[in-house]
Amino acid sequence: MLRYANPKRFLDLSATLLPFLWVLAIALLGWGLYEAIFVVPPDYQQGDSVRIMYVHVPSAWMGSFIYGFMFIASVVGLVWKHPLADAAAKEAAPIGACFTAACLITGSLWGKPMWGTYWIWDARLTSMLVLLFLYLGYIGIWSAIEDRAKAARAAAILCVVGVINIPIIRFSVEWWDTLHQGPSVVRFENGKLSPSIDPSMLWPLLAAGLGCTFLFFALLFVRMRTEIARRRIRTLMSARAAA
Amino acid sequence: MLDYLAFAPYGWFIWPSFAVFALLVGGVTVQTLVAARRTKRQLARLDQKTP
């Protein structure tokens, strides 16, 4: 993996992978959302409002997944000072912030008809809001500190410290009494992991989640390629200014 | 079909949810692609000017 931390190798590899990532992202997300609107049956308790799940749950998954990805990239950046690790974390943050914001807003819109309120300060909702603030803080550090090495270090430290929020999000519905339901897509029962929703609902949900994952990597690769190009522009400008 | 897509009485919550998702995820996608294109052009111009 670390072999690809070389920008040239990363550019070659990402150029090969990008078309596949785009096709998989569009196909899976498109199919998942089509099923969500036109095919999936209404839930026996929640009625048609369950369709919100197909944008809410993948957004929630991505919000946490992307932060986990940023954590790994930040650790690699802090410990091994790989040139692409900081760029990976930096470019992942706006995508993660968008998914987290989507999760919070769609959750709020789902909460009103089901719970009778758009918002409540329960552990799951609050920890998810904290995740959004962590993303915004991370992006803010990169914007506020001009020295890129210092910005990378400060942002990475925030990211590493903030990762404590990820298990809190995951287990909040088990550790505290929350209005938010417990884990309900798959459950660990009798020593094995089994789905707890009907396959007609599960597959479109997994497709949408997987589509979002491929979309994330497609966007990340494009953004990292852009960041490498920006670094080259800065180098060329400095060389011209010095000449 | 329109009756089905109204998803009564939850349509007022379902469609804004899909719209917010499309706006945020579509927005970051468009912003990413526009920035990539702009940067690529800028780099090409600089490469041309650099001897």
Which residues make Cβ contacts (< 8 Å) with residue B43, sequence separation at least 6? A229, A232, A233, A236
Taking the C-alpha atoms of residue A27 and residue A211, their distance in angstroms, rounded to an integer, is 7
Question: How confident is the model over A3-21, as a mean pLDDT?
Answer: 88
Q: Inspect the interface and report whether the beta carbons of B24 and A101 lie closer than 8 Å.
A: yes
- The secondary structure element, H or E, covering residue A194 is strand A192-195
Task: With CB atoms and an 8 Å threshold, state whether A37 touches B18.
Answer: yes
Instruction: From residue B30, give the alpha-carbon distance in Å to each of A19, A37, A83.
Output: 17, 24, 26
Total domain count for chain B?
1
Helix, coil or strand: residue B26? helix
Distance from CA of A191 to the nearest CA of B (A): 36
Judge contact between A96 and A73, C-beta under 8 A: no
CA–CA separation, B27 vs B25, rounded Å? 5
Question: The domain containing residue B42 runs over which residues?
Answer: 2-49
Domain boundaries, chain A: 16-40+50-172+185-242
E-strand stretches of chain A:
186-189, 192-195
Q: CA-nearest residue of chain B to A42?
A: B7
- Residues A242/A105, Cβ–Cβ less than 8 Å: no
pTM, 2 dp: 0.93
Contacts A223 to B, Cβ<8 Å:
32, 35-36
ipTM over cut 0.90: yes
* pLDDT tens, residue by residue, A56-103: 999 999 999 999 999 999 999 999 988 799 999 999 999 999 999 999
CB within 8 Å: A233 and B40 = no
Which of chain A's residues have a Cβ under 8 Å away from the Cβ of B50?
A: 236, 239-240
Using alpha carbons, list the distances in angstroms from residue A167 to A101, A129, A240. 19, 14, 49
Across the range B17-37, mean pLDDT stands at: 98
The predicted pLDDT at position B50 comes to 67
CA distance A42 to chain B (A): 10
Mean pLDDT for the stretch of residues A133-147: 97
Please provide the average confidence, as pLDDT, over all residues in chain A. 93
